[in-house]
Every structure is written in structure tokens, then in C-alpha cells.
Amino acid sequence: MESFIKQAAQVVPSERQLKWQSLEFYAFIHFTVNTFTDREWGDGNEAPAIFDPTELDARQWVASVQSAGMRGLILTCKHHDGFCLWPSAYTDHSVKSSPWRQGQGDLVREVADACREAGIPFGVYLSPWDRHEKTYGDSPAYNDYFVAQLTELLTGYGDIFCVWFDGACGEGPNGKRQVYDWDRYYETIRRLQPDAVISVCGPDVRWCGNEAGHVRPSEWSVVPASMRDNEKIADKSQKEDDGGAFARRVDSRDNDLGSREAIAGIADLVWYPAEVNTSIRPGWFYHATEDDQVKTVEELLAVYHGSAGGNASFLLNVPPDRRGLVHERDADVLRRLGERLRADYGVNLAEGAEAAASDAIDEAHAASNVLDADPETYWCPSEGTEQADIELRFAEPLTFDRVVLKEHIRSGQRIERFTVSCRTTAGWTDVHSNTVVGHKRICLFEPVTGDAVRIRIEESRWQPTLAHVGVYMKSN
Ligand code: FUL
């Protein structure tokens, strides 16, 4: 075997990446002055007086998000317009100058508290691009301002699971170009919230490359280190208000980031897993004109299967309306989506099956480890084995239309190609072939009936692992 493959097999996630990956599906909340001006990007001249949600209820947001099965929430604490949803000590351009809660409100606190109460982690989006702040463009002064705000968010609101950075960068009022001090931002986050992942323009979570919910068929978490560094260089200063559909560096949109061909000869590989971010509506912010364009349960399920079921995570934006509530239509879709997910994945038909494998390195890594939900117990064959089979035998024939596979990613990402087969009355029938597995691969196929299922690992790196194999049948 080529030695670079063995090396690639040994690139592993950090603890914070592992923790983040287990969330799988979580919410983005875009809410600010744009909600009241009906825009996607504010220009920074919005009067705080317009920010006046009359029925704002952060608990309703969290309940709605949770009803869909989302397990975390990231709030736009400051978008490109510079308006702060918390009473920052460093500017008056914030909720404290608005009529909302008579200027006494702190929306970051309300949302962080609602998340804590409901038991889901809370994350922050803080736009480096700030079209209001006068120091923007005067690089050292603005970097101080930005770090001061970051510090407020990272010290005042409990544990933060994610800091989400967009790379937008424009000219300041002084005509000078702002140079972001990313290293200082990262150092601040590591020091104040060591468990938080830094996403998109950051070293921990990679942007999938589009905002439409598309995913690569083979999403690798092990990619060249240059991918990670490129993400800092995003630039949309010359773009129009286009709802975020701007172009970032082309690399993050290339179709193959991690196959053998893509990484051949590259010595510096990193664990940099993908996140898919998209909105439940066409825009990131609420617009009444889009009330009848809320994505359907089927559309969201397709994105879920491609992302959470394709070794990426799914960040779904839900923009509250001018009342400060998740609109009834969005709430309804989210509730029905959650019902579907719970019904389709509620019962693992493979529980109680017998597992057997072509090989296991030792007793502790026997085939039966794939039957439980414990991510730390797993099956693996001997080192240097690139092909291996594992079979689950049922007590009686079952009908199913999906198989869920999970690698033991703490050990690395190994599987490159596999086929799922079912033992029917006609013998072994292949039902699904695919490439990567990683944290989670959901394999969908036409319903099939049989008394055993087999996963044939046809190509892998050094030593494949499987922590879980689940078998399911959709609810309707
Ligand atoms: C983009 C922004 O320009 C959009 O407004 C939105 O916040 C999206 C998530 O990221 O870069």
C-alpha cells in the first residue's frame, strides 16, 4: 500500500470537532434590522429605532428548532450592518438604542438562556464585515473593536459551541481596506471557549461551497491543509446585495477534495469536515413576500440525507419574522420534519441481529460492536486490510429501505467504496453502492425483504472501521 494512504488514514479529529460532529443537525437564526427593512444586507445606516419586535419569544424559536430534531442553535449576533443584538459596551449601534424592551433588552442573553433551558448548545455568528463601525478599514483599531466584541460574547453568555465566521471584507469609510487579524481572533476564541469550533473562516469546520444545500457525493473530512487556509481569504467586497450567493474561493467548491487522486503527493493533510448551510426560505432574513416559499418537508429531507447522511453536518437557517416569532408556516414544516425523522429513524430493525465479519483484529473489535449505538465501540479488521465484509443476520426476514453506517472517526476516515446487499429469497442482491462513510452515511434504496444484510467494503485506507450499522424502514 502506498504510504501516503496510511498517513491519510491516521489524520484524526480534535475533541471539539468530534463533539460538534455529533450534533449533525442544528439551526441558524438570522434576525436583525434587516428583518424590519426587508433587506438581506443592511448598509449600516439603519436607525436602531426600527428594531422593535413586538412578540419576541426566544423560547418559541428554540422549541420550533427542537421540534425538527435540530440539536443546537447559532444566532447572528451582529450581521454585516453592524447592529448588535446585545448591549455591547463598545458601540451604541445595538439593542440598547432600540425601543425593544425599552432599550433594556439583550437578545443574545434571551436566546442563550432559552437554549440552555432546553438543553441545546448555543453558538454565535459575528460578522467581521461591519458597515456601520467607523473604525472599519483602519485595521488595528477595528481589530481591537472586533476582539472586544468577541470577548463580550465569549465571556458573558456561558458555553459557546461554535463561532461562525463569514469572510466578507469591504472598504471602510476611510477608503482603506480592512485586514482581519484572524490569528488573533482564533487565539481569543481558543483561550476563552476552548471547546468551541470555529466554522467557515476558521480551522475547524469547512464550508461545503454553496448555500443551496447541495452536497458532494463523496464528502471527505481529510483534505489538504491548503483548503483550510484558503477559507480565510473569502472576499465579497465587490458583490451586490445578493442574498449571500457570492463566490468564495473556488477550491471549496471543487467536487473532489479528498480522494486518493486528490491527495496524492500532498504531505500536509488535516481533519476539516464539511458543513452544509442553507435557509428554509429563499433569503437568510425574513421577508413576508417569501411566506409561500418555505421549503417543504421533502425538500428538507433531501438536504438532510445528503448532508447529515453524507458525512457533513446540516445548518438550517430559520429567520424569525417582525413579531419576533418563527412564522407559523416555518414552524409547521419544522414540526412535520421532526415527526418524519423520528418515525423513519425511531426503530433500528437490526437490534438483536447477529453480526459476523470476514476478519476482526481482536475480540475487543468484534463485529457485534456495530449493533449498539455507542460511538466508541467498533469493528475493525487487521491492519493493512483494505477489503472486508460484515454481515448482520436477522431472526426472521425484514423489509427495509435504508441502512445507516458510521465509522469510528476518532480513528480517522477510512472507507472509500462499499456495497450494501440483502439476502432475499433469490439470493444476495446488491441494493446500494457508494463511496465515503465518515461520521454517518445514510444509504437509501427501494424497499427490499431479506433475512441478512451485508456491507462489503471494497476499498479503504489501511484499516476500515465501523462503529454502527442500523437498518430502517420509512414510516409511510
Ligand atoms: C453570507 C452572508 O453574506 C449572508 O447574509 C448570510 O449571513 C450567510 C450565512 O453568509 O456570507
Residue nearest to atom 2 of ligand 1 (CA): 244
How far away, in angstroms, is 21 Cα from ligand 1 center? 22
How far away, in angstroms, is 244 Cα from ligand 1 center? 5
Q: What is the mean pLDDT of residues 188-193?
A: 98
Q: Grade residue 255 by pLDDT with cuts at 50, 70 and 90.
A: confident
* Cα separation, 191 vs 314, whole angstroms: 27
Nearest in space to 139 (alpha carbons), one of 184, 94, 80: 184
How far away, in angstroms, is 137 Cα from ligand 1 center? 20
SS3 17: helix
**Least confident stretch, 48-57, 206-215, 368-377, 387-396:** 206-215
pTM listed for this prediction: 0.95
Residue 446 CB contacts under 8 Å (≥ 6 apart), including other chains:
401, 431
Who lines ligand 1 at CB under 6 A? Answer: 40, 166, 168, 244, 277, 284
**Least confident stretch, 210-214, 280-284, 414-418, 453-457:** 210-214
Residue 102 CB contacts under 8 Å (≥ 6 apart), including other chains:
none
Longest dimension (CA), the chain: 75
Domains belonging to the chain, first-starting first, are 2-345 (3.20.20.80), 354-472 (2.60.120.260)
CA distances from 273 to 41, 246, 251, 306, 421 (A): 28, 22, 14, 14, 28
CA distances from 386 to 1, 13, 60, 78, 380 (A): 9, 21, 49, 48, 11
Q: 68-94 pLDDT, tens per residue?
A: 999 999 999 999 999 999 999 999 999
Q: How many CB atoms lie within 10 A of CB 179?
A: 12
pLDDT of residue 231: 57
How far away, in angstroms, is 68 Cα from ligand 1 center? 22
pLDDT of residue 72: 98
* Cα separation, 320 vs 243, whole angstroms: 16
Q: Grade residue 244 by pLDDT with cuts at 50, 70 and 90.
A: very low
pLDDT of residue 152: 98
Q: What is the mean pLDDT of residues 419-440?
A: 98
Residue nearest to atom 8 of ligand 1 (CA): 244
Nearest in space to 406 (alpha carbons), one of 360, 439, 377: 439
How far away, in angstroms, is 285 Cα from ligand 1 center? 10
Is the Cβ–Cβ distance between 204 and 193 less than 8 Å?
Answer: no
* Cα separation, 154 vs 196, whole angstroms: 10
Residue 48 CB contacts under 8 Å (≥ 6 apart), including other chains:
33, 83, 92, 93, 94, 95, 97, 98
* Cα separation, 47 vs 417, whole angstroms: 55
Residue nearest to atom 6 of ligand 1 (CA): 244
Report residue 398 as a C-alpha cell: 425484514
Residue nearest to atom 10 of ligand 1 (CA): 244
Nearest in space to 381 (alpha carbons), one of 366, 360, 353, 407: 360
